[in-house]
């Protein structure tokens, strides 16, 4: 199998059109996005540009292409954050209202709506995917898990926003990929699908579990949990996300396979073995996102 990699800006319509004409793809899985909430708080402009205008560039490029390629399909990968925040009960599903609470979430909600408008107006062959928190190997160090693991290995403070009681539903990256591949084959065009694991964890509990794994794998003279430091909360921090993924389970038979504790251990082990590589981007672990 021949693998071609093109490193281009998705807002560059000329470059995107050239790639499409060269490769004549059967499908597009649109996962390109600015994705860190804290950075969107400090500087929303790049999120607006990439997530909204980048998505529009792809849609406007592929629209004429679909006229001569009726089997083409477009998978727009988004987030459950577009729905806002939940209380102690309930879960988001495909009929949930859009109530984004951060510039990042607003930019993704906007891109979702652009895709929806192309589906309804132009009969564009797309699906919209709203997924819960991904985790696993190779995640960029600004995210909670790699940030916690790498800081701990370097004996640096482990920041916990606010009281750490915020709840997230954690989806292992391998399970997410499996769902996307099934949707490309069996998903219904024009539909939205929520993908989640039904494995909810409080942020503080996740960090403590990481510390416990590190205590066993890379022991030091005290527990890594001693490095936990509570810091000022993120402005507008959503309290809880949870996703009802019964639609995708019923329609195409997908179910998450990875237990959170097992996936977490695999993730910790990955960063232990690849620590030097990720330490080179230590700037990504600097606290941002406090601007109001």
* Domains, the chain: 19-285 (3.40.50.720)
Q: Answer whether residue 292 shows pLDDT above 60.
A: no
Q: Answer whether residue 16 shows pLDDT above 90.
A: yes
Residues 150, 59: Cα–Cα separation, whole Å: 38
Q: Which residue would you say has higher pLDDT here, 239 or 3?
A: 239
pLDDT the model gives residue 227: 98
Residues 36, 39: Cα–Cα separation, whole Å: 6
pLDDT the model gives residue 286: 66
Question: ∠ at Cα 224 (222, 228), nearest 5°?
Answer: 120
Tens digits of per-residue pLDDT, 33-67? 999 899 999 999 999 999 999 999 999 999 999 99
DSSP state of 96: P
From residue 63, how far is each of 125, 189, 199 by CA, in Å? 9, 15, 38
DSSP state of 50: I
From residue 253, how far is each of 22, 57, 242 by CA, in Å? 35, 33, 20
Q: Say how many Å lie between the first and final Cα of the chain, rounded.
A: 49
Question: ∠ at Cα 131 (129, 132), nearest 5°?
Answer: 170
Residues 202, 196: Cα–Cα separation, whole Å: 16
Residues 138, 117: Cα–Cα separation, whole Å: 33
Residues 29, 179: Cα–Cα separation, whole Å: 12
3-class state of residue 230 by DSSP = strand
Closest CA to 115 of 126, 106, 107: 126
Q: What is the mean pLDDT of the chain?
A: 94
Percent share of the chain, pLDDT over 90: 90
pLDDT the model gives residue 260: 98
Residues 195, 255: Cα–Cα separation, whole Å: 9
DSSP state of 283: G
Supply the residues annotated as catalytic.
Answer: 80-81, 104
Residues 6+ apart with CB under 8 A from 273: none
Tens digits of per-residue pLDDT, 157-209? 999 999 999 999 999 999 999 999 999 999 999 999 999 999 999 999 999 99
Q: How confident is residue 4, by pLDDT bands cut at 50, 70 and 90?
A: confident
């Amino acid at each position: 199998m021949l693998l071609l990699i093109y490193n281009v800006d998705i807002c560059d319509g000329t470059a995107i059109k050239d790639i499409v004409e060269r490769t004549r793809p059967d499908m597009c899985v649109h996962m390109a996005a600015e994705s860190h909430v804290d950075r969107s708080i400090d500087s929303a402009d790049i999120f607006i540009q990439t997530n909204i205008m980048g998505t529009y560039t792809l849609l406007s490029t592929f629209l004429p292409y679909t006229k001569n390629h009726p089997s083409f399909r477009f998978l727009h990968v988004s987030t459950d954050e577009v729905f806002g925040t939940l209380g102690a009960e309930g879960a988001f599903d495909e009929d949930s209202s859009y109530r984004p609470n951060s510039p990042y979430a607003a930019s993704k909600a906007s891109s979702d709506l652009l895709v929806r408008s192309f589906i309804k107006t132009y009969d564009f062959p797309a699906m919209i995917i709203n997924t819960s928190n991904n985790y696993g190997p190779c995640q960029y160090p600004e995210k909670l898990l790699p940030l916690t693991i790498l800081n701990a290995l370097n004996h640096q403070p482990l920041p916990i926003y606010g009281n750490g009681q915020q709840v997230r539903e954690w989806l292992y990256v391998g399970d997410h990929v499996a769902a996307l591949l099934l949707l490309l084959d069996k998903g219904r065009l024009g539909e939205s699908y929520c993908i989640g694991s039904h494995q909810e964890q409080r942020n503080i509990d996740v960090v403590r579990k990481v510390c416990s794994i590190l205590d066993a794998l890379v022991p030091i003279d005290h527990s890594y949990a001693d490095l936990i430091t509570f810091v000022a909360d993120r402005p507008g921090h959503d309290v809880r996300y949870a996703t009802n993924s019964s639609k995708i389970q019923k329609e195409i038979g997908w179910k998450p396979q990875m237990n959170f504790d097992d996936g977490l251990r695999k993730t910790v082990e990955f960063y232990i073995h690849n620590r030097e590589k990720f330490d080179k981007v230590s700037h990504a672990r600097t606290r941002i996102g406090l601007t109001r």
